[in-house]
């Protein structure tokens, strides 16, 4: 099972956001300047979810989820201000799984650590 999952909801339409490409990138420790490493890619399914995105375990460090929302907006006939949403996070504790949902609308977005 992937250590990271996500769920994208289109709050303007009140529907899951199907077909959003997402990348998981390891960007390293805060005090180092390592080259980013691509760990996983996926596309949200009909329920707006990606259940398998990246490795089974996350090492310590900073990670970034990159949501490519421009194509989704165009496909759904919406005019989005944001063309890409980047969420940078640092896993804390010894959790085996992190769920990072994204709430998306044409002019704003919100993310949180889900369960």
Neighbour-count burial for 18-44, b at 16+ CB within 10 Å, e otherwise: bbbbbbbbbbeeeeeeeeeeebbebeb
pLDDT at 31 exceeding the cut of 90: no
CATH number of 4-111: 2.60.40.180
Residue 97 has pLDDT above 70, yes or no: yes
Q: Which residues pair with 77 in a beta bridge?
A: none
**Domain assignments of the chain as residue spans, ordered by start:** 4-111
pLDDT of residue 30: 63
Distance CA 34, CA 64 (A): 14
pLDDT in tens, 52-95: 998 999 888 899 999 999 999 999 999 999 999 999 999 877 78
Tokens of 79: 């005019």
32: pLDDT strictly greater than 70: no
Tell me how far apart the alpha carbons of residues 72 and 16 are, in angstroms, rounded to a whole number. Answer: 11
The dihedrals phi and psi of 73, each to the nearest 5 degrees, come to -60, -45
Mean pLDDT of 2-30: 93
Query: pTM here?
Result: 0.92
């Amino acid at each position: 099972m992937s250590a990271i999952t996500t769920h994208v909801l289109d709050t303007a339409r009140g529907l899951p956001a199907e077909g959003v490409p997402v990348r998981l990138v390891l960007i390293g420790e805060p005090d180092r300047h390592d080259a980013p490493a691509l760990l996983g890619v996926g596309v949200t399914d009909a329920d707006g979810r990606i259940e398998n995105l990246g490795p089974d375990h996350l090492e310590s460090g900073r990670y970034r989820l990159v949501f490519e929302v421009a194509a989704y907006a165009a496909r759904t006939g919406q005019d989005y201000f944001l063309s890409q949403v980047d969420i940078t996070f640092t896993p804390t504790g010894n959790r085996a799984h992190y769920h990072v949902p994204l709430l998306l609308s044409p002019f704003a977005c919100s993310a949180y650590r889900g369960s």
